[in-house]
Structure 1
Amino acid sequence: MAATPRPPAEPQWSLPRGLIVLLSFAGAVVTVAGLRSSADILGPVFLALMLAIAVSPLQGWAGRRGIPRWLAVVVSLVGVYLVILLLAVALAVSVARLATLLPTYQDAFTELVDRVQAALADLGVGHPQIRAVLDRLDVGAMFGVLQGFLTGLVGVFSDLLFVLVLLFFMVIDAAGIPDRAQAASTTRPHIMSALSTFVRGTQRYLIISTIFGLIVAVIDVGALYLLGIPLPVLWGLLAFITNYIPNIGFVIGVIPPALLGLLEGGPRLLILVIVAYTVINFLIQSLIQPRFVGEAVGLSVTLTFLSLVFWTWVIGPLGALLAIPLTLLAKALLVDIDPSAGWLSYLISTKAVPAPSGGQPAHHEREETGDADDGQVP
């Protein structure tokens, strides 16, 4: 009769575990402080990295079909440059038009405040208290958060030369990464496997979010145009951008057109905008899209929300858009890269990993095998 296998002995710690935890937290605090202090440069760097990862499959596709890699590099650069320039111009023009449009609603906002004041007075609320609260409201302040968010994005794109030059070098380097990654995997297989998992997850997330974002943006523009909301293209662009923001992107996208609907046509138009966005955006972004995104990134809902808060706090508005890819990068560097830390993947993943026969826990959840060139680090 075969002997019952004994569980592996726990590693011996040279320091108390509590002290190791405290030292780890101290190192994390120092690292986060360094990230925040260099947010102005880290934002464009991470943006360029995500864009390079997004277009890297094109080079692998070209190589498998005998197309010269230099031609694939040129096509990738031209395509991503056009996307960046179009977004930068659209955001700049939209913010300028929004700043011009808001003052024209001051009279409508004042009238709305007077109606609210009269309704509250009929309910017995004291006039001084009403006046003290309503005097603090301003139509410009209501859109201050949105305008600050868009201005922050324009600020990132305003450093366009740095992003374009950095992206140029990253895309060129990506052409030789597959061969170098394969050579490195012979001596450091866990490290290269973790980075490849990060790249594949990021590519899937960006593709899924872009497709669903375009669908939502087109439908939103049509609905807002039919309802007569000013600047429908701007709000469609905002819906496309906020589609990359996990959990609360839908809420951010609905507030500006809903408030404009209130100022333009009263409560009825406000309700129509909210209903239209709820049917369109909530159905697609909150019910359909998460099923695909969850399969792509394998992160729990709680972790995605915390990552949104954390990365926005660290590097600003761009952190909200890149929260998921940045979290995947942190997971690859802190969890996937270390075989002994594989148990953490089970705690933060959306899928339970069953134990194989024999009672031993699965070492690590493996990603689906993708194309060799597509899974390499750009």
Structure 2
Amino acid sequence: MLQGAIIVVAVLYFARDLLIPLVLAVLLSFVLAPLVRALRHIAVPRPAAVVIVVICTFAVLSGIGALMGSQASSLAGNLPSYQATIAAKLEGLRSVGGLFDRLNGVVADFSRRETAAPETVQPPPGDGPPAETPLGRAVPERRPVPVELHSPNPTPFEMLQRLAEPLLGPLATAGIVVILVIFILLYREDLRDRLIRLAGARDLHRTMAAMDDAAYRLSRFFLAQTGMNTAFGLFIAAALWAIGIPNPLLWGFIAGLMRFVPFIGIFVTVTGPLLLALAVDPGWATLVWVAVLFAVSEFLMGQVFEPLVFGHSTGLSPIAVIAAATVWTWLWGPIGLLLAVPLTVCLVVLGRHVDRLEFLEVMLGDQPALDPEETFYQRALAGDADALTEQAERCLKEQPLAEYLDAVALPALRLAQEDAVHGALAPDRRAALKRSIEMLAEDLEEADDPEPPPGEAPAPLPPEWREAGAVLCLPGRGPFDAEAAAMLGQVLTRRGFGVRLGSEAAPGARPRLLCLCLLDGGASAATARYLLRRARRRLPGVPAIALVCSREPEGALARALRSEGTPEAPLPIASCMVEVLDLAVEAAGTLPRPAAEPAAEAAPPAPEPPGLAATATA
């Protein structure tokens, strides 16, 4: 992998003159493909649609380039006239006895001291007596002869060559890009078929779905980003014209172009208008207005408009954006900086659909690297109870406590139990995990569930079910079965049940319902059956529910416990806390019933399957 990465980087660096036009053509084809499809929908042939779109696009780009060149020339011609305003502002910043005056005084005093220092003056070479030869004759003094080099006037051909050389490279690149864009748009389906053949013709349906999804997403993203940046540039140009900044079209173009550059683009954009605001206005009002304009517009673009158009993000993590901008700038220079985000988005989409390149999505994408239950487990192992609470608060804004525990906490406890059974969990880590879960349980005591829809509020429980110890949560013998039982007890307590945790022989009122809590990987099937039988012997006539958190719906524990039931009184097996809560409410006789109907038209009730009621009767 390291050798492959080095080869890829070397090819990207040394073949940039070939790859840059190709990449520009591919990205432009993504942007122009929807326009070609729109023309084809109105019965325009494909060759004509491609030619029309490409010619119009490059005509617009050429016009924009010419306009920006004239704006830059006008700005360069007006620069000397701004010197007087800048000098006047700098004079105004100086104050008597201020920092500038003190610095000038120190420099002047140092210069006077250097001038007053004694210097050794040596006579010039021509003032001494003439040198004598061994024969005693004087040699006349030789003075250097000044020499000036003059190049011949260039011929018309040389002048034309000097003017054309800086333009040949960009013109050649532009010509190659135009030709490639035309051919890519003309033979789009053929290129897609060839890529499908290379990517995987055996699984044709999956490969086509992946490529169509990637092309559609990238095309929408690039077109939307181009439209958003164009609108932003036009808005900035209009606002700067209203404020009174010279050459507003130039700064609007730079603002729209720098939107493609993440993070540092805004600083490049705002520098020129701020300097001009400092130069054209003797006061400071223009400078303040320009600063406010860019601050407000950047906030609105980043927090309001772009999330509405793109979703919450572009699919890249902030660190990935910074790293991509650095790497592509090092490889391809300024063009790489402009193309950093689009190229990185392409890599993320490629990693999303190609199994071998999945690491690209993990490294560069903005999706969490770990699943919620894995994140819970990692934070608990690290003893970071605050992070667990933050995760729980985010989840509880959208779902009740029971659903959060089923989706995140119980799977995390199952992972911890598997590691503990295999000896992969050190004692200090295990203690930190238990301590973090206890602190999370204390924090969840104050958390509120989302408000239920109107008319669906849960019915109150009978008084006898709200007494302490009405429901007994009995843990298994696994390392973390007790934590699962405590979580279940918290869910039942929030619903209004009186809950007791621990052994069936604990002192107190006789329970009305027994909940056996087991995590997969802890107690064996024989141990689970033994715990259930012992609880039934000590609490005869009390209905039981088994909570079995397993990777498989019907694992070994669930099958073993189900065999303990009888056809007349089967043992309900729940795989999540929501099911346990529903069964407990059913046992308490407070299930929600449909709206009452007239007694004469009421249909006879259907016979209920044997469940908790039959268990209680037995």
Q: TM-score of the superposition, structure 1-length normalised?
A: 0.69
How far the C-alpha of 1:273 sits from its partner, in A, is 0.5
The aligned counterpart of 2:77 is 100
8 Å Cα contact 2:46-2:186 kept in structure 1: no
Select 1:160's aligned residue among 174, 186, 205: 174
**Shift in CA distance, 48/298, structure 1 to aligned 2, threshold 3 Å:** same
* Unmatched 5+ stretches in structure 2: 109-165, 374-406, 412-549, 553-618
**Shift in CA distance, 215/157, structure 1 to aligned 2, threshold 3 Å:** farther
Counterpart-to-counterpart distance in 1, 2:240 and 2:551:
57
In the alignment of these two chains, the number of paired residues is 315
Counterpart check, 1:87 vs 2:51: no
How far the C-alpha of 1:274 sits from its partner, in A, is 0.6
Which amino acid counterpart does residue 70 of structure 1 have in structure 2? Answer: P
Which amino acid counterpart does residue 271 of structure 1 have in structure 2? Answer: V
Counterpart check, 1:288 vs 2:305: yes
The aligned counterpart of 1:14 is none
**Shift in CA distance, 155/219, structure 1 to aligned 2, threshold 3 Å:** farther
Q: What do residues 276-298 of structure 1 show as CA deviations (whole Å, max 9, x unaligned)?
A: 12122331245431553355741
Aligned to 1:342, the other structure's residue is in SS state: helix
How far the C-alpha of 1:203 sits from its partner, in A, is 1.6
The aligned counterpart of 1:45 is 22
The aligned counterpart of 2:294 is 277
Counterpart-to-counterpart distance in 2, 1:72 and 1:164:
15
8 Å Cα contact 1:42-1:315 kept in structure 2: no
Counterpart check, 1:127 vs 2:104: yes
Select 1:319's aligned residue among 301, 311, 336: 336
The aligned counterpart of 1:309 is 326
Counterpart-to-counterpart distance in 1, 2:92 and 2:107:
12
Which amino acid counterpart does residue 60 of structure 2 have in structure 1? Answer: V
Which amino acid counterpart does residue 294 of structure 2 have in structure 1? Answer: Y
Larger radius of gyration: 2
RMSD (CA atoms):
3.7
Q: What do residues 9-34 of structure 1 show as CA deviations (whole Å, max 9, x unaligned)?
A: xxxxxxxxxxxxxx51x543443344
Which amino acid counterpart does residue 275 of structure 2 have in structure 1? Answer: L
After the TM superposition, which of the residue ranges 217-226 and 346-355 deviates more from structure 2? 346-355
The aligned counterpart of 1:223 is 239
Q: What do residues 22-64 of structure 1 show as CA deviations (whole Å, max 9, x unaligned)?
A: x51x543443344233434433332222111111234445556
Which amino acid counterpart does residue 87 of structure 1 have in structure 2? Answer: I
Q: What do residues 144-188 of structure 1 show as CA deviations (whole Å, max 9, x unaligned)?
A: xxxxxxxx9997567432322232222222253455556665336
**Shift in CA distance, 63/164, structure 1 to aligned 2, threshold 3 Å:** closer
8 Å Cα contact 1:59-1:73 kept in structure 2: yes
Counterpart-to-counterpart distance in 2, 1:120 and 1:44:
59
Counterpart-to-counterpart distance in 2, 1:324 and 1:188:
31
Select 2:33's aligned residue among 51, 56, 81: 56
Counterpart-to-counterpart distance in 2, 1:301 and 1:119:
45
Select 1:330's aligned residue among 342, 347, 353: 347
Which of the two has greater helix per residue?
Answer: 1
**Shift in CA distance, 169/346, structure 1 to aligned 2, threshold 3 Å:** same
Mapping of residues 5-16 of structure 1, within 5 Å: none
The aligned counterpart of 2:538 is none
Counterpart-to-counterpart distance in 2, 1:248 and 1:121:
38
The aligned counterpart of 2:595 is none
8 Å Cα contact 1:45-1:166 kept in structure 2: yes
Counterpart check, 1:36 vs 2:13: yes
Counterpart-to-counterpart distance in 1, 2:22 and 2:313:
23
8 Å Cα contact 1:56-1:174 kept in structure 2: no
**Shift in CA distance, 172/291, structure 1 to aligned 2, threshold 3 Å:** same
Q: TM-score of the superposition, structure 2-length normalised?
A: 0.44
Counterpart-to-counterpart distance in 1, 2:270 and 2:320:
24
Counterpart-to-counterpart distance in 2, 1:62 and 1:178:
21
**Shift in CA distance, 269/304, structure 1 to aligned 2, threshold 3 Å:** same
8 Å Cα contact 1:245-1:321 kept in structure 2: yes
The aligned counterpart of 2:186 is 172
The aligned counterpart of 2:52 is 75
Counterpart-to-counterpart distance in 2, 1:27 and 1:103:
54
Counterpart-to-counterpart distance in 2, 1:120 and 1:158:
59
How far the C-alpha of 1:66 sits from its partner, in A, is 5.3
Counterpart-to-counterpart distance in 2, 1:129 and 1:332:
62
How far the C-alpha of 1:271 sits from its partner, in A, is 1.3
Which amino acid counterpart does residue 182 of structure 2 have in structure 1? Answer: F
Identity of aligned residues (%): 26
Counterpart check, 1:109 vs 2:126: no
The aligned counterpart of 2:156 is none
8 Å Cα contact 1:54-1:203 kept in structure 2: yes
Q: What do residues 83-102 of structure 1 show as CA deviations (whole Å, max 9, x unaligned)?
A: 33223323333333333333
**Shift in CA distance, 62/310, structure 1 to aligned 2, threshold 3 Å:** same
Aligned to 2:187, the other structure's residue is in SS state: helix
8 Å Cα contact 1:94-1:234 kept in structure 2: yes
* Unmatched 5+ stretches in structure 1: 1-22, 132-151, 361-378
The aligned counterpart of 2:366 is 350
8 Å Cα contact 2:83-2:279 kept in structure 1: no
How far the C-alpha of 1:338 sits from its partner, in A, is 3.7
How far the C-alpha of 1:216 sits from its partner, in A, is 1.7
**Shift in CA distance, 34/329, structure 1 to aligned 2, threshold 3 Å:** same
Counterpart-to-counterpart distance in 1, 2:10 and 2:105:
45
**Shift in CA distance, 289/311, structure 1 to aligned 2, threshold 3 Å:** same
Aligned to 1:322, the other structure's residue is in SS state: helix
Counterpart-to-counterpart distance in 1, 2:96 and 2:330:
38
How far the C-alpha of 1:129 sits from its partner, in A, is 7.7
Select 1:232's aligned residue among 239, 248, 270: 248
How far the C-alpha of 1:264 sits from its partner, in A, is 1.1
Counterpart-to-counterpart distance in 2, 1:331 and 1:54:
18
